[in-house]
Amino acid sequence: MMELICPAGTPAALKSAIEAGADAVYCGFNDETNARNFPGLNFSRDELRKGIALAHGRGAKILVAINTFPRAAAADIWQRAVDDAVSAGADAPILADIGLMDYAARRHPNQRLHVSVQAAAANPDAIAFYAEAFGARRVVLPRVLSVPEIAEITRETTCETEVFVFGGLCVMAEGRCSLSSYATGKSPNMQGVCSPPSHVAYEQSAEGTTSRLGGFTINRFGANEPAGYPTLCKGRFSTAEGAGYIFEDPVSLDATTLLKGLREAGVTALKIEGRQRGRAYVESVVRHFRHALAALESGSEADIAGLKPFTEGQASTLGAYRKTWR
C-alpha cells in the first residue's frame, strides 16, 4: 500500500496526524531552514525529539524538511539542523540544496536521505544524479508531471517517489520561483516564505476589497465576494490578451480520484501539503485519505466530496497530473 505522508506545523498537529492514520509525518525546525518558516509554526529541538518518540511508539515515521537553500557564510545553521534531526532519530531529512546534501551524505553516510520537491528533480536523469551523488533514497516529485510521466520515472529509477495529492498548489516549478522575492524581497528558497503575511495589505472600499502584496495589487473582490489571501501566482491580473487568473485560479490540488492511477504508476508515497494549517485540517484530510486508500485496497468507492471545505475557494484541481492543465 502507498504510504501517507502528512504535514505538521505543531506538536498538536503531529499527534492528530498520527491518530488519523499517517504513515509518516513531516515537519521542520522553527527557523529559516525550512520552506514553511512562519511565526508560531514548527518545532524546537525538544519538541522534535518528543514528536519522534510519539511517532515511533505508534509505528509512524518522522521526516524533517530542511529544504531552503543555505545562505552563504551561514551553512552551519543548516548543517546543525541536519545533525540535530539525525541525532534526534528522524527517519530522513528532506533536503533541497546540493551543498547540504553533500554534507549530509558525508557526515551521516548511513542516514536515509530524501530529495525535496524544492530540488526540482523532474525526470529520471536528474533523480539518478541525486541517487548516485548522495545516495538519495526518495524524491518528492515536482508538481509539473502528468501521471504517465510519473509512471515513466518510476520505471526508470530505483529511487522511491513521493507525490503531492492534496493542498496548496505551486503553479510554477518549485524551488525555481522568485516571484515572491521580486515583489517582497522574501523568497521560498532563501527565507522559506512565499507571499509572506508581513507584506500583505487589504484595502476596503465601497466597491469591495483590494488585496496587495509588497504594494502590488494581487486581486480585487466585490462587496459580496470573499477576499482570498493574495498568493502571487493565484492573483487576477490584466494583459493585452485579456484579464483574470492568468497563472492559476485560486484552487487547491485534490488527487483523490487519481489514487488508483498513482498506485499503478508505481508511486511509493502520497504527500499532503499544509504544515501551516491547523489541527482540524490535518486530522480531516489525513482521515479522508486513509479511508480513500482503504477503499482503493478493497476496491470500493471512495468519498470524493469530503474535502471541499479544506480547499482554497472551495475549488480543486488535478493540476499537472492531467495533461490538459498545461
Partner 1 sequence: MQLSLGPVLYNWAPDRWRDFYFRIADEAPVDVVTVGEIVCSKRSPFFARHLPAVVERLQGAGKQVLLGSLILVSLRRERRQTEELAVAEGALVEVNDLTCLRALAGRPHAIGPFVNIYNEASAAFHAARGAKRICLPPELPLASVAMIARAVPDVTIEIFAFGRVPLAISARCYHARLHKLTKDNCRFVCEKDPDGLLLNTLEQQDFLTVNGVQTLSHTCTNLLGDAGILRDSNVGSLRLSPQDCDMVAVIRTFRDVLDGREDVDGGNRRLAADYPGVPFSNGFLWAEPGHVYRRAQSADAQIGTPPTP
> Does the protein bind partner 1 through residue 87 (CB under 8 A)?
no
Residues between 39 and 68 that touch partner 1 (CB under 8 A): none
Report whether 44 contacts 64 (CB < 8 A). no
> Does the protein bind partner 1 through residue 72 (CB under 8 A)?
yes
Rounded CA separation 150/218 (Å): 33
> Does the protein bind partner 1 through residue 184 (CB under 8 A)?
yes
The only residue of 190, 200, 227, 295 in contact with partner 1, by rule CB under 8 A: 190
> Does the protein bind partner 1 through residue 227 (CB under 8 A)?
no
Closer by beta carbon to partner 1, 54 or else 75: 75
> Does the protein bind partner 1 through residue 185 (CB under 8 A)?
yes
Report whether 35 contacts 65 (CB < 8 A). yes
Residues in the interface with partner 1 (CB under 8 A) total: 72
Closer by beta carbon to partner 1, 178 or else 204: 178
Residues with Cβ within 8 Å of 84's Cβ and at least 6 positions away in sequence, in order, are 29, 45, 48
> Does the protein bind partner 1 through residue 222 (CB under 8 A)?
no
Residues between 2 and 21 that touch partner 1 (CB under 8 A): none
Exposure pattern of 185-214 as b/e (b: 16+ CB <10 Å)? ebbbbbbbbbbbeebbeeeeeeeebbbbbb
Closer by beta carbon to partner 1, 49 or else 80: 80
The only residue of 11, 47, 135, 181 in contact with partner 1, by rule CB under 8 A: 181
The only residue of 22, 35, 145, 258 in contact with partner 1, by rule CB under 8 A: 145
- In the complex, the smallest distance separating the C-beta of residue 323 from partner 1, rounded to whole angstroms, is 8
Strand segments (E) across the chain: 3-7, 24-27, 61-66, 92-95, 114-115, 138-140, 160-168, 200-205, 208-213, 216-222, 237-239, 242-244, 252-254, 269-272, 316-317
Residues with Cβ within 8 Å of 177's Cβ and at least 6 positions away in sequence, in order, are 170, 187, 188, 194, 233
Q: Of the candidates 326, 322, 162, which has an alpha carbon nearest to the alpha carbon of residue 258?
A: 322
- In the complex, the smallest distance separating the C-beta of residue 128 from partner 1, rounded to whole angstroms, is 6
Cell of 324: 490538459
The only residue of 46, 102, 207, 225 in contact with partner 1, by rule CB under 8 A: 102
DSSP state of 73: T
Residues between 234 and 273 that touch partner 1 (CB under 8 A): 235-243, 246-248
- In the complex, the smallest distance separating the C-beta of residue 206 from partner 1, rounded to whole angstroms, is 16
Closer by beta carbon to partner 1, 17 or else 35: 35
Closer by beta carbon to partner 1, 38 or else 247: 247
